[in-house]
Amino acid sequence: MAISTSTVPIARRRELPAAAALLLTIGGNILVLGIAALAMAGVAVAAVAVFGPGILDAL
């Protein structure tokens, strides 16, 4: 192995631990599900606001 005399620092490669990657994955999935639930609730509220009691009568 050759020893370098360069004064330029070489960045160390950082890797995410497996546990942290798993937690980020789970957290991301929960975030996506939460956004989807809010979107569906928003669509329901908008439908009631636009169509009014006709939707409630149909149920």
pTM of the model: 0.61
- Cα–Cα distance list, 46 to 40, 43, 55 (Å): 10, 5, 12
pLDDT for 4: 63
In this predicted structure, the answer to whether residue 1 has a pLDDT above a threshold of 60 is: no
pLDDT, tens digit (0-9, with 9 covering 90-100), for 5-48: 767 777 777 888 899 999 999 999 999 999 999 999 999 899 88
Q: What is the largest CA-CA distance in the chain?
A: 81
48, 55 contact by CB (below 8 A): yes
